[in-house]
Amino acid sequence: MTIRWTRVAIYGVLSLFALLYLMPIYVLAVTGLKSFQEVRLEQMWDLPSGLRFDSFRDAYRALDTNLMNSFKMVIPATIISCMLGSINGYVLTKWRFRGSNLLFFLLLYGMFIPYQSVLIPLVKTLQQLHVYGSLWGLVVTHVIYGIPITTLIFRNYYTNIPTELVEAAKMDGASIFGIYTRVIFPLSLPGFVVVAIWQFTSIWNDFLFAVTVTSNPGIQPATVALNNMAGSFIVEWNVQMAGALIAALPTLIVYIVLGRFFVRGLMAGALRG
Amino acid sequence: MNINGRRLLNLVTSEQAVAVALIVPSVIAVGVFVYGFIGWSAVVSVSRWDNVRPDYAYVGLDNFRDLFNNFRFQIDIRNTVVFTTFFVAACLGIGFVLAALLDRRVRGEGLFRSIFLLPMAVSFIVTGVVWRWLLAPRAGVNILPEKVGLPAGAYGWYTDPNVLYVHADSRLGDALHTIGLGFLADPNYGIPLAMISVVIAATWQASGFVMVMYLAGLRAIPDELRDAARVDGASEMQILRHVSLPLLRPVTLSAMIILGHQSLKIFDLVMSMSRRGPGFATDVPALFMFETTFQGNHFSHGAAISILMLLAVSLLVIPYLFWSLRREARL
């Protein structure tokens, strides 16, 4: 009988936490679906009387250019990041050289630094390169500061591909590129998925680089536009909530569809605890 | 060595050169954009550059001295300590409890896990916008009791200007004074209540991550160890405390470092949720740096803040990197 009660307690506590964790999502969704007459703050927790998409329409109108900007930035940056990470991981596991571990350590450190400590030089350099204030400037930024994490994930992934496979291919006279295209790359799909999801999510969600590298509202990614929207007193709070949900949707969909790989990226980010 | 062997060796070494060449672009990029730029920022932090026009005249540590004498920066240090302490403690506690519960062969484990991790997929900006309304004084959590007929809460949340601290004329203040710690009885060593709201939002977002780490750690503990303890008559709680928890120490350490270094850098969440807060109650170094540099054009002081942030993070992360790479090498 005591065992039964323990089970009840376990499920009770877990369910309580689940409700707490879902509470913000619930408020986001119901607020977005309410009509403008219903959005008084006192009614925050009430279900909408009907499904109205007015808030979403308004929020989308305010954010559509910025959402497009986010996609234009995140897609090329993710693709380039994946390619660089894969090559780096391949070299650092299958073509180790003297000092490659030190090099890896130096790369890794770049993953943890507060980016504030590179912002001033970054802005000055991007201005010199005439990409400051453009999406390409952001793409370059995200690709470069993404090198440590993408290299780390691919390196950990390739460590698990038996070196004998590579040695055998070397014996057969395959070149470094041959081994990559015929042995490594075909086995890399899960690695690519993990890295792509990781980069997609973190670049989409980035705010610091976006707000410092772009100043023109027409160029800014969705996170910056959403923050501006939330800081303004003109925009109704239900539109802000709808905007938040729209801005979160791409990464939420990725998480719901490919959650397994998302978690693997997360764990890689934690090194090997 | 025969001819064939030498040819193979040549082939291998030239291929090795190609391999090195392949990572050279990444190495240069990180070398310049991470290490070069840090050096550049360091140079700015000891310069006189205080307006739009760059001025690299050397002023020694003046900018750092200015910062430590600056009221806002002193408050920022207090806020960072408070935020880090509460955020790390809350995430570790909740993450561990959730993991321990999920480890008890729970039906629907996948669903629970997905729910607890969901906040990790959204940006700090989204989190900030949502929690700004959930913790608004006249809405959200405060009016929730009204739904069941209770009086509404009157918490100010992130608008609360109060700082919890030991008053000098209180008994505890006296006690601190007699042991020579009288200076601690000061709002500068207190807990700004508004910061707790930011901690709540941040914990909502990050505790799922700690849960995943602990769960992976628990699953890695061999069943025999726990079975042996069960045979010896240990209760599940005792097993958790005396068998699992000690074995999970590396996980705890990793989680602490990762959460700790994140909280030293926290920016987006504060930006979208509360900004400086009342009397700088939710101000943080990253926000100070951003405003000083990109709104005030005081580049040298902004750079100095960023260098101090880098030092704080490095103190935490560099030993950890050594430790985890050594551990990995041993495995």
Q: pTM of this prediction?
A: 0.93
Q: Are B290 and A41 within 8 A, CB to CB? A: no
Give the model confidence (pLDDT) of B89-139 as tens digits: 999 999 999 999 999 989 999 999 999 999 999 999 999 999 999 999 888
- The distance of A272 to chain B (nearest Cα, Å) reads 7
ipTM, two decimals, is: 0.93
pLDDT of residue B183: 85
Confidence of residue B3 (pLDDT cuts 50, 70, 90): low
What backbone torsions phi and psi does residue B58 show, to the nearest 5 degrees? -75, 130
- The distance of A35 to chain B (nearest Cα, Å) reads 18
Any domain includes A154:
yes
The total number of structural domains in chain B stands at: 1
The total number of structural domains in chain A stands at: 2
Pair (A47, A71) in one structural domain: no
DSSP class of residue B8 equals H
Pair (A13, A75) in one structural domain: no
Q: Which residue would you say has higher pLDDT here, A96 or B324? A: A96
Pair (A6, A101) in one structural domain: no
Pair (A209, A257) in one structural domain: yes
Cα B265 from Cα B289, distance rounded (Å): 11
What's the CATH number where B313 sits?
1.10.3720.10
Give the model confidence (pLDDT) of B28-59 as tens digits: 999 999 999 999 999 999 999 999 999 999 99
DSSP class of residue A221 equals -
Collect all residues of chain A within an 8 Å Cβ-Cβ radius of residue B208: 21
- The distance of A28 to chain B (nearest Cα, Å) reads 7
Any domain includes B14:
no
* Nearest by Cα to A108 from B217, B209, B328: B328
Confidence of residue A270 (pLDDT cuts 50, 70, 90): low
B136, B147, B328 ranked by CB distance to A272: nearest: B328
Pair (A240, A218) in one structural domain: yes
B22, B119, B139 ranked by CB distance to A21: nearest: B119
B30, B212, B271 ranked by CB distance to A263: nearest: B212
SS (H, E, C) B125-158: HHHHHHHHHHCCCCCHHHHHHHHHCCCCCCCCHH
Q: Range of A97's domain?
A: 62-269
Any domain includes B6:
no
Collect all residues of chain B within an 8 Å Cβ-Cβ radius of residue A201: 121
Pair (A68, A203) in one structural domain: yes
Collect all residues of chain B within an 8 Å Cβ-Cβ radius of residue A227: 125, 128-129, 271-272
Torsion sign, CA atoms B186, B187, B188, B190: positive
pLDDT of residue A57: 92
Any domain includes B170:
yes
Pair (A45, A75) in one structural domain: no
Collect all residues of chain A within an 8 Å Cβ-Cβ radius of residue B36: 121
B18, B140, B272 ranked by CB distance to A44: nearest: B140
Any domain includes A99:
yes
DSSP class of residue B58 equals B
Give the model confidence (pLDDT) of A68-86 as tens digits: 999 999 999 999 999 999 9
Give the model confidence (pLDDT) of B170-196 as tens digits: 888 889 988 988 888 888 899 999 999
Least confident of A16-25, B90-99, B237-246: B237-246
* Nearest by Cα to B18 from A164, A143, A178: A178
Any domain includes B12:
no
Give the model confidence (pLDDT) of A118-158 as tens digits: 999 999 999 999 999 999 999 999 999 999 999 999 999 99
Any domain includes B114:
yes
What's the CATH number where A253 sits?
1.10.3720.10
User: Tokens 């890794």 label which residue?
Assistant: A108
Q: Are B33 and A144 within 8 A, CB to CB? A: yes
Confidence of residue B1 (pLDDT cuts 50, 70, 90): very low
Q: Range of B289's domain?
A: 46-330
- Residue B206 clears pLDDT 70, i.e. is over it: yes
Q: Are B121 and A262 within 8 A, CB to CB? A: yes
Pair (A135, A3) in one structural domain: no
Query: Which long-range CB contacts under 8 A does B233-240 form with residues at least 24 apart?
Result: B236/A6, B236/B104, B240/B100
pLDDT of residue B63: 97
Q: Are A247 and B317 within 8 A, CB to CB? A: no
Pair (A126, A188) in one structural domain: yes
Locate the chain B residue with the closest alpha carbon to A118.
Answer: B37
Any domain includes A250:
yes
Confidence of residue A49 (pLDDT cuts 50, 70, 90): confident
Pair (A180, A203) in one structural domain: yes
Pair (A135, A15) in one structural domain: no
Any domain includes A57:
no
Percent of chain A with pLDDT over 90: 67
Pair (A40, A66) in one structural domain: no
